């Protein structure tokens, strides 16, 4: 079967391994992910911090292109892109005046007919029903499932999982043979877009997350967002400086962990690209 | 503008917030859950609940302080405040409006210089290529902030792991994206 696919910028660059693992897992279950042609950046945090119209017009262009291509359901693995696309779809359906302004800016037809799936929804809907019997190497580790902000908030718009103590990633990891742990930092912010402009804040915020995961015996942290991953993985020096010790718990994308469980090649899942060595 | 403006007795900036975002600062009863849950409140000059109170007063001096605050820029829009607000006040949506207004009125806090520079570099990158070009973003950000030495060790490590594209990804319809920027900036001076 075929699903629409919006990779977003991170998956083409600093989070290449997320794209690699998403595509590898999809392929293993005979799902073809068809990229939206000529897609643009969603504008991310920068756009909605600076200019509301821009923050809606950029995602609206992406959704229009998906419609034009005849895609009815698109998979958006990046939690930040997922949030921007979903918030835009919501705002444009609630506010016809805004929709008119944005469609005029884009010069493309927009009806709002495309369904947007985050990675957990995609896995739940299309992979999990067929997972039984495919797990050849159970991911037999204690894992801290880290949801971050944008996968679950704002609940009023996303209507996905619970905003305090969400469970969906934990449920997936249980099926992959892992033991998800209870911990306190599932939805605390990693520092997100301040990674470059205020790295010390990211060291502190991500440090608390890694610190709690370690204290509770996690052997791996499981994420579904490139920003969470790059802060928890690439900013490990700043995190260790905050914690005052060297913590080497690896951070895996949910699709990398599931890929390992179904026996996919480590390199095909991009595990060699991480800063913190993936020893699990 | 909704009639709620009148009933809540909010004029000034609080009224503008209501008119543009539908967020009612008058609904805040100062429980402080937003400030308690905000991961950045300790780095802010005024935590979120204090910003709400400042807007409730309708005092122009306090409103000016809000627009000049560091708080509105270190706010990560992580949405924790909104999730925990017992009155469901969409504080992040209000913050977006306050940031845009602060920029337009050239009141942005000098300590937010790097944060704003990063956003500008980010948007410039997608304005010209349609997608984010990470090397271009780093270079542009360094030029804006003169933070030449920061993160210098990061790029080669990323490169080695195949995490940085040397050549930017150019979309075909760059003029379409440029038009979106042009139209959005018309109503907006930044």
Question: A154, B184: Cβ pair inside 8 Å?
Answer: no
A245: exposed, middle or buried (Cβ count in 10 Å: 0-12, 13-18, 19+)? exposed
pLDDT for the residue numbered B185: 86
Residue B186 has pLDDT above 90, yes or no: no
pLDDT for the residue numbered B10: 64
Point out the least confidently predicted range of A69-78, A144-153, B61-70, B133-142: B133-142
Nearest-angstrom CA–CA distance, B56 and B50? 10
Compute the average pLDDT of residues B68-88.
97
Residue B119 has pLDDT above 90, yes or no: yes
| Greater model confidence, A112 or B186 | A112
Residue B2's pLDDT band (cuts 50, 70, 90): very low
Residues of A in contact with B117 (CB under 8 A): 197
Residue B152's pLDDT band (cuts 50, 70, 90): confident
Secondary structure of chain A as H, E, C letters: CEEEECCCCHHHCCCHHHHHHHHHHHHHCCCEEEECCCCCCCCHHHHHHHCHHHHHHHHHHHHHHHHHCCCCEEECCCHHHHHHHHHHHHHHHHCHHHHHHHHHHHCCCCCCCCEEECHHHHHHHHHHHHCCCCCCCCCCCEEEECCCCCCCCCHHHHCCCCCCCCCHHHHHHHHCCCEECCCCCCCCCCCHHHCCCCHHHHHHHHHHHHHHHHHCCCCEEEECCHHHHHHHHHCHHHHHHHHCCCCCCCEEEHHHHHHHHCCCCCCCCCHHHCCCCCCC
Give the list of residues 6+ apart from residue A5 with CB closer than 8 angstroms, or none. Answer: A33, A34, A35, A36, A74, A75
Least Cα separation, residue A38 to chain B (angstroms): 5
Q: List strands edge to edge, sheet with A142-145.
A: A179-180, A142-145, A220-223, A251-253
pLDDT tens per residue, range B10-47? 679 999 999 999 999 999 999 999 999 999 999 999 99
Residue B5's pLDDT band (cuts 50, 70, 90): very low
In chain B, which among 68-87 make CB contacts under 8 A with chain A?
74, 76-80, 82-83
Class of domain B4-108: mainly alpha
Compute the average pLDDT of residues B174-181.
93
* H-run or E-run covering B62: helix B60-67
Q: Is B162 on the interface with A (CB under 8 A)?
A: yes
Domains and CATH numbers, chain A: 2-120 (1.20.1050.140), 135-273 (3.40.50.11810)
Residues of A in contact with B141 (CB under 8 A): 196-197
- The parts of chain A modelled with pLDDT lower than 70 are none
Could you tell me if residue A253 is left (phi over 0), alpha (psi between -120 and 50 degrees) or otherwise beta?
beta
Q: Is B46 on the interface with A (CB under 8 A)?
A: no
pLDDT for the residue numbered B190: 46
Strands (E), chain B: none
pLDDT tens per residue, range A186-224? 999 999 889 888 999 999 999 999 999 999 999 999 999
Residue B66 has pLDDT above 70, yes or no: yes
Q: State the number of CA atoms in the 13 A half-sphere of B114 facing the CB.
A: 16
Nearest-angstrom CA–CA distance, A267 and A17? 9
Which residue, chain included where needed, has tokens 């543009």?
A: B20
Which residue, chain included where needed, has tokens 């370690």?
A: A214
pLDDT for the residue numbered B188: 61
* Beta-sheet pairing, A115-117 with A220-223: unpaired
Residue B187 has pLDDT above 80, yes or no: no
pLDDT for the residue numbered B3: 43
Nearest CA in chain B to A208: B39
Rounded to two decimals, the pTM is 0.94
Give the list of residues 6+ apart from residue A173 with CB closer than 8 angstroms, or none. Answer: A139, A143, A145, A180, A222, A254, A257
pLDDT for the residue numbered B1: 43
Residue B138 has pLDDT above 90, yes or no: no
Residue-range domain boundaries for chain B:
4-108, 111-186
């Amino acid at each position: 079967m075929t699903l629409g696919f919006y990779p977003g910028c991170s998956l083409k660059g600093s989070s290449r391994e997320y794209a690699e693992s998403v595509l590898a897992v999809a392929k293993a279950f005979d799902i073809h992910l068809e990229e939206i042609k000529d897609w643009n950046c969603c504008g991310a945090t920068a756009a909605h911090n600076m200019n509301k119209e821009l923050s809606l017009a950029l995602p609206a262009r992406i959704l229009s292109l998906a419609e034009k291509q005849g895609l009815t359901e698109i998979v958006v693995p990046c939690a930040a892109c997922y949030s921007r696309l979903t918030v835009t779809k919501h705002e444009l359906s609630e506010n016809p005046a805004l929709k008119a302004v944005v469609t005029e800016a884009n010069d493309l037809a927009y009806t709002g007919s495309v369904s947007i799936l985050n990675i957990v929804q995609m896995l739940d809907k299309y992979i999990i029903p067929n997972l039984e019997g495919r797990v050849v190497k159970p991911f037999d580790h204690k894992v801290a499932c880290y949801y971050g902000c944008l996968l679950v908030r704002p609940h009023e718009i996303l209507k996905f999982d619970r905003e305090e103590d969400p469970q969906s990633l934990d449920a997936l990891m249980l099926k992959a043979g892992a033991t998800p742990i209870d911990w306190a930092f599932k939805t605390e912010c990693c520092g997100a877009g301040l990674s470059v402009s205020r790295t010390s804040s990211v060291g502190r915020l991500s440090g608390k997350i890694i610190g709690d995961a370690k204290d509770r015996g996690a052997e791996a942290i499981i994420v579904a967002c490139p920003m969470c991953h790059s802060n928890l993985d690439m900013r490990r020096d700043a995190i260790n400086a905050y914690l005052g010790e060297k913590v080497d718990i690896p951070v895996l994308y949910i699709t990398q962990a599931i890929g390992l469980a179904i026996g996919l090649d480590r390199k095909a899942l991009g595990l060699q690209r991480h800063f913190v060595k993936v020893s699990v | 503008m909704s009639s709620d403006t009148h009933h809540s007795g909010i004029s000034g900036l609080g009224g503008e917030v209501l008119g543009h975002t539908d967020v009612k600062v008058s609904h805040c009863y100062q429980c402080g859950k937003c400030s308690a849950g905000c991961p950045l409140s300790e780095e802010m000059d005024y935590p979120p609940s204090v910003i709400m109170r400042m807007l409730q007063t309708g005092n122009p001096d306090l409103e000016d302080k809000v627009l000049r605050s560091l708080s509105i820029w270190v706010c990560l829009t992580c949405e924790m405040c909104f999730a925990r607000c017992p009155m469901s006040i969409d504080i992040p949506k209000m913050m977006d409006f306050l940031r845009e207004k602060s920029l337009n009125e050239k009141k942005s806090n000098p300590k937010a210089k790097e944060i704003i520079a990063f956003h500008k570099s980010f948007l410039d990158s997608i304005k010209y290529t349609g997608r984010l070009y990470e090397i271009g973003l780093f270079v542009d950000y360094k030029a804006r902030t003169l933070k030449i030495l920061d993160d210098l060790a990061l790029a080669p490590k990323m490169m080695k792991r195949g995490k940085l594209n040397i050549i930017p990804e150019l979309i075909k319809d760059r003029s379409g994206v440029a038009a979106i920027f042009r139209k959005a900036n018309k109503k907006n001076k930044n």
